């Protein structure tokens, strides 16, 4: 299966995607820096969580249009 075919990644795919080792990946997952969950002892990592982590570390903030309807006193 191609790495980008699934919305859920495993530990090996995470390591390949971020070019990191298993120890670093485990630290990121256990600390909650990358949001994921375990089924039994196997990490299930949503691809969106990895993308969010990359954006956060790169300083990319999603565009939020200004709210012109906010009342100020």
The model scores a pTM over 0.75 = no
Contacts of 9 (CB under 8 A, 6+ apart): 3, 17, 44, 45, 46, 47, 50
Digit-coded pLDDT (tens) for 7-57: 999 999 999 999 999 999 999 999 999 999 999 999 999 999 999 999 989
- Which element (helix H / strand E) includes 42? strand 42-46
Report domain extents, the chain. 10-58
- Which element (helix H / strand E) includes 43? strand 42-46
Predicted local confidence at residue 1, as pLDDT: 46
């Amino acid at each position: 299966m191609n790495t980008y075919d699934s919305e859920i990644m495993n530990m090996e795919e995470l390591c390949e995607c971020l070019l990191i080792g298993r120890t670093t990946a485990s630290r990121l997952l256990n600390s909650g820096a990358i949001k994921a969950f375990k089924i039994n002892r196997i990490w299930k990592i949503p691809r969106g969580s990895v993308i969010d982590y990359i954006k956060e570390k790169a300083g990319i903030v999603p565009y939020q249009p200004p709210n012109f309807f906010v009342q100020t006193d």
